Amino acid sequence: MLGALSWSFQEADSDRVDSLLEALLADSGADRALLIDRTGQLIAAADAAATTDATAFASLAAADFAANEQLAGLVGARDFSSLYHQGSRQSLYLAGVAGRAILALVFGRAVTLGMVRIKVRRALPPLEALFQEVFTRPQDRGDDRLTAGWANEVEVEIDRLFDGV
Amino acid sequence: MSMINYASREINCKIVYYGPGLGGKTTNLEYVYEKVAPSTRGKLISLATESERTLFFDFLPVDLGTIRGFKTRFHLYTVPGQVYYNASRKLILKGVDGVVFVADSHPARLDANSESMDNLYHNLAEHDFDLRELPFVIQFNKRDLPDALSVANMNAALNPTAVPAFEAVATRGVGVFDTLKAISKQVIKSLS
Ligand SMILES: Nc1nc2c(ncn2[C@@H]2O[C@H](COP(=O)(O)OP(=O)(O)OP(=O)(O)O)[C@@H](O)[C@H]2O)c(=O)[nH]1
Ligand SMILES: [Mg+2]
């Protein structure tokens, strides 16, 4: 949701997500699994052969998912939760995770949609549990790794990058 | 709602260029794309109509590199300015960390500027977000027009709280990076 506090992903969260995505890939035979924040940012990716631009992919997938959710709402489909694009070689399946993220699977012709659905349905509960934890735990505001010193250095870098152009 | 990923040590900030149709939002991103080093930016994605009006959004990731161990990145988005694309505009505002309002200096666009500013305010408010608490700058674009409204007039109409405002000619790049620098610094300050 807009206006929510920043949230943070810790080392341990990331390890859990990575192993869940790896397991999903192995289990489903898909080529690529990505976890994307609803605002369009990539959270994690697992892939057999990473060829696509993950940053672009994440932003487009989030927009696509959001637009389709609204479309579904317009025609009264209140339980919109997943989206499927069929391609001639590769297909794409997107599923919402805990209202905060999107799980995207890219898969080839050898894998059926039915299989993907089943495997995703099984992968969702542990992912959703993890997101519940991330969003309900107290914010790590005391964590001073993002200090004023960091901000100053970023500002210097902003000047360096944008001044000379 | 920027995402700080302590595991991959990444910080991604979302900056949205808002404003009336044909004001020059897409032109700002195109100029940034052309001018920054290719190693610094990703692909520019434009979801536009055949006549190059933004239909859904433009998207350009800009990479500041790794600073104190954190890979720091800005995600620049534009919204479609045309009034009837409001549903799309709301979607793009999701998770915004900072807003650039690109105003059109043409006198005939004064109402369109004001309407778009109201629309921004409302779209944010609908999600319990207050424009006054968000990193926010205004760009007065198209200063090259012979009959451009005076900056004083534009400030009076669009900038009651006196947020930083920059004059620009986006087609020639004038003011584009001043604007981007100002909003990105505000966003960084808001995070630390
Ligand atoms: N004279 C002048 N024209 C400009 C300037 N900046 C942009 N334009 C022109 O204005 C037109 C619209 O620019 P865009 O960048 O597509 O506008 P936009 O705000 O993205 O419009 P929408 O996508 O419809 O919301 C283009 O023909 C630009 O070349 C400027 O500084 N001066
Ligand atoms: Mg545009």
B5–A14: do the CB atoms touch at under 8 Å?
yes
**What are the chain A neighbours of B129 within 8 Å (beta carbons)?**
2-3
DSSP track, A47-80: ESS--S-HHHHHHHHHHHHHHHHHHHHHTT-TT-
Q: What is the DSSP letter of A146?
A: S
Residue B1, pLDDT > 60, answer no
What pLDDT does residue B2 have? 62
Q: For A45-90, what is each residue's pLDDT tens digit?
A: 998 656 678 888 999 999 999 899 988 988 988 888 999 999 999 9
pLDDT at residue B11 greater than cutoff 50: yes
B14 vs A146, more confident: B14
What is the rounded distance in angstroms from the CA atom of residue A29 to the CA atom of residue A86? Answer: 16
H helix runs in A11-147, sequence order? 11-28, 54-74, 113-136
Q: What is the pLDDT of residue A7?
A: 66
- Cα dist from B118 to B23, B79, B85, B115, B121, whole Å: 16, 15, 15, 5, 5
Other CB atoms within 10 Å distance of the CB of residue A49? 7
Percent of the residues in chain B that have a pLDDT greater than 90, as a whole number: 83
Average pLDDT, chain A: 86
Q: Are A38 and A51 in contact (CB under 8 A)?
A: no
Q: Give residue A22's pLDDT band: very low, low, confident or very high (50, 70, 90).
A: very high
Question: Is pLDDT at B88 greater than 60 in this prediction?
Answer: yes
Domain parsing of chain B, residue ranges: 3-191
State which amino acid sits at residue A73.
Answer: G
- Scanning A94-113 for CB atoms below 8 A from B yields none
Q: Give domain limits for chain A.
A: 11-163
Interface confidence, given as ipTM, is 0.85
pLDDT tens digits for range B100-149: 999 999 999 999 999 999 999 999 998 788 999 999 999 999 999 999 99
Predicted local confidence at residue B111, as pLDDT: 97
pLDDT at residue A1 is higher than 60: no
Let me know if domain B3-191 sits in CATH 3.40.50.300. Answer: yes
Q: Assign A3 a pLDDT band (cuts: 50, 70, 90).
A: very low
Interface check for A118 against chain B (CB to CB < 8 A): the answer is no
Ligand 1 close to Cβ of residue B27 (< 6 A): yes
Task: Considering only residues B175 and A100, tell me which one the structure prediction assigns the higher pLDDT.
Answer: B175
Q: Report the candidate in B189, B133, B180 with the shortest Cα–Cα distance to residue A161.
A: B180
- Is residue B145 lining ligand 1, measured as CB closer than 6 Å? yes
Judge whether residue B26 has pLDDT over 80: yes
Average pLDDT in chain B: 94
Displacement of CA B83 from its chain's centroid (Å): 17
Contacts of A44 in chain B (CB under 8 A): 8
Q: Which residue has its alpha carbon closest to ligand 1 atom 13?
A: B24
Question: What single-letter DSSP state applies at residue A115?
Answer: H
Nearest to B181 among A56, A150, A158 (CB): A158
Fold entry, domain A11-163: Beta-Lactamase (3.30.450)
